[in-house]
Amino acid sequence: MPSSMHEQESLLTTLENAFGFAQDQVSSLLEKYPADYYPMYTVGGKFGQDRKRWTHWCDGFYPGMMFIFAEATGDEDWLESAIKFSTPLENRQYDRAVHDLGFLFFSTHLRWLELGGPVERIRPLLIQAGKTMAMRFMEKGQYLRSFVEPASLFIDIMMNVGTIFHAAIETEDDHLLDIAHKHCQTTRRTIVRGDGSTSHEAIFDLNTGECLRQSTHQGYRGDSCWSRGLAWSLYGFTRSFLQSGQTDYLNTAMLNADYYLENTPADGVTPWDYDAPEDGALAKSQVDTSACAIAASGLLDLAEVTPDQTKSRAYRDFALTSLKTLSEKYLGNLTPGFEGILNGGVYHIHKNLGVHEAVLFGEYFFVEALHKALDVLGEATLPAEMKPAIIKPYPEDSLPAWAKTWQDGPTEEEMPSPDGAKQ
């Protein structure tokens, strides 16, 4: 997918329209809500009613989308808005209460830096964020603790360990680099299962550093596979490979991706938990479009670096299928008055927060995935591997001169019938 020029052009139009709709929705939010408001999830399709925020871990996603729009369009207004909403976050480079500094600063200041933002302002901030993140490291157990308690490791942290890799690379600090690698290795060992599925959390003995059990706050059970956690793992290990070049991380991301492709419905939209029951309040029929968007973005990155070309094509095609389904069946324009971009997300199903609503991490990664996909699809031309090969006629050099010309023979209808044949 897509298998033809027509299908590709159709997909390109669908995704371009979704990307345009996303810009319209964010523009509307900027007009409707105060300059200090950071949306988190909708209630009845409306923002402005967020009931619980915990650690404000989603605040980077709102300006993050604006940076993506600025990059895609070159519109200075988007850049100005992105900077305006990113600036209040800067003091959080010192925030030791959260394990989400990657969500806060990779979606904002790293993008700003890549767009030509002031190096003298942004570089030290990103380095400090990585150093602050590294302070969560538990010597016994060799992992970065979650915001919940010292004994807890979240799969979500794979999306934030990149801040430490970034700081280590920028400063050539081997201590930081060791911490980042140890966390990734511990996560592979304690959270990622042999079939590529993941748990949400690992619990450690603080005295010995032994991993005691897998657990969850958001999934169906401790031993189930919560789809958003799987997406965090797939994306996080892919990025860790891109930052470090460590092939173990690439192999882990591919293992996650293979499980994802094998267990996600053909339309590319995930259940909220792969092991959820078939009915009841926690039924598998409840999708999580945010998990789908995160995975699609990660799969597009993974497709670029996977050495197996068959798998690379499968990852890319599944990501495009997911984005097509999201754009056609879950876009906010299908629900009158809906203020989000993408419906069908899940913030916290057990607390009934943001269930089948727009959630900001889903919004951000959907926009990011669309941006990547549109880049992949290009100017409505087939990718090189899909273009029909232009083969020249075989040369006649081996033929004698008399054989280089010929006349097409008569058709069977023009040939005389054999003697005795019925007419």
* Angle, in degrees to the nearest 10, between helices 76-86 and 61-73: 160
* Angle, in degrees to the nearest 10, between helices 227-244 and 162-171: 10
Using alpha carbons, select from 180, 181, 199 the residue that is nearest to residue 190.
Answer: 199
What is the biggest distance separating any 2 CA atoms in the chain, rounded to whole angstroms?
A: 101
Taking the C-alpha atoms of residue 16 and residue 106, their distance in angstroms, rounded to an integer, is: 24
| Residue 390 within a domain | no
Q: What type of residue is 107?
A: S
Using alpha carbons, select from 17, 122, 119, 20 the residue that is nearest to residue 69.
Answer: 20
| Residue 121 within a domain | yes
What is the SS3 assignment for 289?
helix
pLDDT score for 66 = 98
| Residue 355 within a domain | yes
Taking the C-alpha atoms of residue 350 and residue 278, their distance in angstroms, rounded to an integer, is: 16
DSSP state of 37: -
pLDDT score for 394 = 54
Model confidence, pTM: 0.89
Using alpha carbons, select from 267, 270, 274, 300 the residue that is nearest to residue 367.
Answer: 300
Could you list the residue range(s) of the whole structural domain that residue 83 is in? 5-381
Q: State the CATH number of the domain containing residue 91.
A: 1.50.10.10
| Residue 406 within a domain | no
Please give the chain's pLDDT, 423 residues, in tens: 666 777 888 999 999 999 999 999 999 999 999 999 999 999 999 999 776 677 899 999 999 999 999 999 999 999 999 999 999 999 999 999 999 999 999 999 999 999 999 999 999 999 999 999 999 999 999 999 999 999 999 999 999 999 999 999 999 999 999 999 999 999 999 999 999 999 999 999 999 999 999 999 999 999 999 999 999 999 999 999 999 999 999 999 999 999 999 999 999 999 999 999 999 989 999 999 999 999 999 999 999 999 999 999 999 999 999 999 999 999 999 999 999 999 999 999 999 999 999 999 999 999 999 999 999 998 444 444 444 445 566 577 766 776 677 565 555 545 555 555 444
| Residue 411 within a domain | no
| Residue 400 within a domain | no
| Residue 328 within a domain | yes
Q: Is the distance from CB of 318 to CB of 261 less than 8 angstroms? A: yes
pLDDT score for 386 = 41
pLDDT score for 387 = 44
Q: Give the residue carrying structure tokens 């990103």.
A: 126
pLDDT score for 51 = 65
Taking the C-alpha atoms of residue 253 and residue 236, their distance in angstroms, rounded to an integer, is: 8
pLDDT score for 378 = 83
| Residue 422 within a domain | no
Q: Give residue 118's Cα distance to chain centre.
A: 27
pLDDT score for 52 = 67
Taking the C-alpha atoms of residue 96 and residue 414, their distance in angstroms, rounded to an integer, is: 89
Taking the C-alpha atoms of residue 45 and residue 47, their distance in angstroms, rounded to an integer, is: 7
Q: Is the distance from CB of 346 to CB of 333 less than 8 angstroms? A: no
Cα-trace Rg, the chain: 26
Q: Is the dihedral of CA 416, 420, 422, 423 positive or negative?
A: positive
Number of domains in the chain: 1
What is the SS3 assignment for 201?
strand
- Give the list of residues 6+ apart from residue 62 with CB closer than 8 angstroms, or none: 26, 29, 38, 39, 85, 360, 364
